[in-house]
Structure 1
Amino acid sequence: MIDTVTGAQAFAVQVKGLLDLEGRYQPKLTGLRLIETAQDNGLRMTSRLRELEVKDLLYRCRFFGFSSETFSLAVSLLDRFLSVMKIQPKHLPCVGLCCFYIAVKSSEDEKNVPLASDLIRISQNRFTVSDMMRMEKIIMEKLYWKVKAPTALHFLRLFHSHIQEQLDVESREILSIERLEAQLKACHCSFIFSKLKVGSKPRLVHLVLQIIMLSLLTFLVFEDIYFLFLDGDLLCIRELVRKCLVEYANTKCSRPNSQRLRWIISGRTASQLKHSYYKITHLPTIPESAC
């Protein structure tokens, strides 16, 4: 009994620590609302363009075999930057690639970090390494050099670890971390979850709670913590999550890396890439965008 109480207390402390940090790394709602209401005329950032860029971030992570941490951090950096800077759509490929590069350097082993020139060639963009370095500096300055933000993935893994011991074998299989992470990635690709906010409370924890609860269809595993987040708006959030996950209710959620991206590149570019880049089996060419 003492061990149970101690474990619950330790978990509550960890959750509170993440919640306290999360409030410091929220995208600006005013900026996100401007994106949401912008007309898709090629002159302003829109929610559709943001969603397409996040999907490109996901494809890049799969292409290089990078971790879920890298993807979640890249999305966090992108949303935070877009919420404080009015950028033109033509600059979005450079912004997205820079957010990806920053996340890679922060989350991956140094030996696995690709060269900026390789990233530009593989992504088939027309800006230069110098352009990318200048954009990276702008992003870092606008985010006050705060990179390592708490992400929904941190909450997801914390909750998953906490409740695993409370589940039977069948429920553990349903609540596999691979499946949950794939579902979270699907939600990241939807702009609506970037501006999600429940009153004045942090948003990431609510998104994660709903993903897990929709998988188990039970509140029992959250008896010790759910009262901390109880809010009438959670029913609305659950419906948003449910609709998003319906589109991904197939084997891709269980095997998120089963389909990896492969850019079509020239022989010259291919000869300069590391051997580890050639484990991808299929990929359509992404369109070029000029800065």
Structure 2
Amino acid sequence: MQTDNSSMSLRCEETEEDHSGAGGRLRAAWDPSVSGRRVIQRLLGVEKRYAPSPLYVSLIQQEPQRREELAKWMLEVCCNCGCDETVFPLSVSLMDRYLSVTLSAPRSPRCLAAACILVASKLSECDSVTSDALCTNAEYDFLPANLREMERIVLATLRWDTAGVTPQDFLPHFLSSLEDLCGEDSATLRRHSDTLAAMCVCDWRFLGATPSLVAAASLNCALRGLSDGPYSVCSVLAELCRTEPVVLEHYSEMIERALRQRLGSPPAAKGDEMEDERAGTPTDMREIDF
């Protein structure tokens, strides 16, 4: 039997990309056969399994400062260590899930946060962040031995179920589904959406929202900030993440308000133009005061 070699290739087509978050690592090419609505439905089916408990969410809402400061520190560490963009949201998800079970912070909260970064990096990257780098970023608030012990505690508490679902898991599939509806550059949209989703991960007000809703609202805001005119795919995104358009619109407005607060912009007047209210989305998360 003859085969057509031109229609199928078994080569691993990795490419060397110089991304700011990827550090020039080899990355596999995007495979359209494992993207789109079929994958979105599977992610939607398991995302609630990795959600923090309602009791934990209510406790954090009473005193959100400590979690927000810890999440900001985790973002800073991930940036300093050149981690992949998927490491930060997964590490915060691991921390929230751990605290949902224990409902008490360890003696060194930074050690817990660093252990979650370490686990997330091992899951997401070929060259994971080192324990020495994490201890250095924490100014040796803990030692490598303490970090390894905390890593074992986190894994045991979560029963090794660590591959959680985050907003960054949905973004490429949402973008793939919207490819025919928007003419924006997908790489730029992904970068802006990643920035907004990372901001939501830090912000306690989005703690109870599902990853799919955060991803859809972040992408919706990114599209508004990048398009020249009044352009919206809210209804399509709402259908993709199985929610009502009014709910997605509400979270999109929450993101826009949070973004203005981070950038130090004054609140928009009620009668202002839509473009003024949704002024340009920053391309680099370091431009936002997390």
Relative to the length of structure 1, the TM-score reads: 0.71
> Higher RCO, 1 or 2 (CA under 8 Å, sep at least 6)?
1
1:20 has 2:45 as partner? yes
* Equivalent position amino acid for 1:237 in 2: Y
Is the Cα contact below 8 Å between 1:36 and 1:47 reproduced in 2? Answer: yes
- Worse-superposed segment, 18-27 or 238-247: 238-247
Gaps (5+ residues) in structure 2?
A: 1-31, 225-230, 264-278
Residue among 188, 212, 226 paired with 2:239: 226
Per-residue CA deviation, residues 97-142 of structure 1 (Å, 9 max, x unaligned), is 11111111111113x532x234213321332222222211111112
1:216 has 2:218 as partner? no
Structure 2 CA distance for aligned equivalents of residues 175 and 57 of structure 1: 24
Q: 1:130 — aligned with what?
A: 145
Q: 1:233 to 1:106 in 2, by over 3 A?
A: same
Q: 1:254 — aligned with what?
A: 283
Relative to the length of structure 2, the TM-score reads: 0.71
Structure 1 CA distance for aligned equivalents of residues 250 and 236 of structure 2: 21
Q: 1:50 to 1:143 in 2, by over 3 A?
A: same
TM-superposed deviation, 1:238: 2.6
* Equivalent position amino acid for 1:253 in 2: P
Is the Cα contact below 8 Å between 2:68 and 2:202 reproduced in 1? Answer: yes
Residue among 241, 248, 256 paired with 2:255: 241
Secondary structure of the residue aligned to 1:247 is helix
Per-residue CA deviation, residues 12-56 of structure 1 (Å, 9 max, x unaligned), is 21111001121211111112212222xxxxxxxx42111111111
Report the structure, 1 or 2, having the larger helix content: 1
Residue among 122, 129, 146 paired with 1:113: 129
Per-residue CA deviation, residues 223-275 of structure 1 (Å, 9 max, x unaligned), is 3862732164434323322211223568883023679xxxxxxxxxxxxxxxx
Q: 1:62 to 1:167 in 2, by over 3 A?
A: same
Q: 1:134 to 1:89 in 2, by over 3 A?
A: closer
Is the Cα contact below 8 Å between 1:53 and 1:96 reproduced in 2? Answer: yes
Q: 1:93 — aligned with what?
A: 110
Per-residue CA deviation, residues 169-195 of structure 1 (Å, 9 max, x unaligned), is xx3379521111111111111011112
Gaps (5+ residues) in structure 1?
A: 1-6, 38-45, 197-202, 260-291
Is the Cα contact below 8 Å between 2:36 and 2:176 reproduced in 1? Answer: no
Is the Cα contact below 8 Å between 2:196 and 2:255 reproduced in 1? Answer: no
Q: 1:159 — aligned with what?
A: 174
What aligned pairs does 1:159-238 form with structure 2 within 5 A after superposition?
159-168=174-183, 171-172=184-185, 176-196=189-209, 203-217=210-224, 218-220=231-233, 222-223=235-236, 226=239, 228-230=242-244, 232-238=246-252
Is the Cα contact below 8 Å between 1:95 and 1:135 reproduced in 2? Answer: yes
TM-superposed deviation, 1:63: 0.7
